[in-house]
């Protein structure tokens, strides 16, 4: 199978929806990486409160760590909670705790994004109190990886799910560890 190339945040976020087979809501999504190979995708519900205990972070880190070949992780928070200059970062303590726990387990966190109903942004950024500039979700529809994954699903006669808001339909099948190039 041809390698998957993830070269932008839009590619990575689009891949998450395709690998799950649906567009996540109120979810923390982690994609394990084995060097330059895509590993399993984990989706868990976001905690109900912004004040998350250590047990949530430990459970997520343990689940990601089950893939013994994983060397790094991509993370996205799919949430309806607002972010921006007037709002604090949602789940900041949880994200910091998870990054520390994954790093202690030997897993590099390549990127963390926040994905809302209409836009996404890099969770980190220069200002520790807010996320980076927002990009409309429409960017996912036009990213190359999304088009390639939709094409692959259509050309292989796989069943696809109905379109989700602001996103092309993802495939119902999940590829096993696929190489990707940056």
pLDDT, tens digit (0-9, with 9 covering 90-100), for 37-63: 888 999 999 987 655 667 899 999 999
* Domain presence at residue 120: yes
- pLDDT in the model for residue 60: 93
* Domain residue limits at 48: 4-159
Q: What is the CATH number of the domain that holds 58?
A: 3.40.140.10
Structural domain contains residue 169: no
* pLDDT over 60 (residue 168): no
Distances, alpha carbon 90 to alpha carbons 38, 113, 161, 174, in Å: 27, 11, 30, 29
For residue 180, is it within any domain? no
β-bridge mates for residue 87, sequence order: 84
Count of domains in the chain?
A: 1
Average confidence (pLDDT) over 99-115: 94
Residues 6 or more apart from 99 whose CB is under 8 A from it?
109, 112
Calculate mean pLDDT across residues 10-29: 91
Q: Confidence band (pLDDT; 50, 70, 90) for 103?
A: very high
Whether residue 181 lies inside any domain: the answer is no
Q: Specify which of 50-59, 68-77, 118-127 reaches the highest per-range mean pLDDT.
A: 68-77
- Choose between 131 and 147: higher pLDDT: 131
Average pLDDT over residues 67-91: 89
Pairing of β 72-78 and β 108-115: parallel
> Does 42 map to a domain?
yes
Range 1-19 average pLDDT:
80
Q: Does the residue 123 lie in any domain?
A: yes
Identify whether 72 is part of a domain: yes
Segment 125-139, tens digit of pLDDT: 656 666 777 888 888
Q: What is the dihedral of CA 95, 79, 25, 51, to 10 degrees?
A: 50
Specify the pLDDT at position 1: 53
């Amino acid at each position: 199978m041809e390698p998957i190339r993830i070269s932008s945040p839009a590619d990575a976020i689009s891949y998450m929806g395709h690998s799950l087979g649906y567009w996540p809501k109120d979810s923390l999504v982690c994609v394990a990486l084995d060097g330059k190979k895509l590993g399993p995708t984990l989706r868990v519900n976001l905690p109900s409160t912004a004040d998350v205990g250590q047990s949530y972070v430990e459970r997520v880190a343990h689940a990601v760590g089950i893939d013994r070949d994983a060397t790094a992780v991509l993370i996205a928070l799919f949430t309806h909670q607002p972010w921006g200059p007037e709002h604090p970062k949602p789940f900041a303590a949880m994200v910091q705790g998870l990054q520390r726990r994954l790093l202690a387990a030997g897993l590099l966190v390549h990127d963390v994004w926040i994905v809302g109903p209409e836009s996404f942004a890099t969770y980190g950024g220069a200002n520790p109190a807010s996320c980076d500039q927002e990009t409309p979700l429409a960017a996912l529809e036009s990213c190359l990886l999304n088009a390639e994954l939709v094409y692959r699903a259509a050309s292989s006669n796989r069943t696809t799910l109905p379109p989700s808001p602001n996103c092309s339909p993802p495939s119902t099948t999940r590829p096993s560890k696929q190489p990707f190039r940056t």
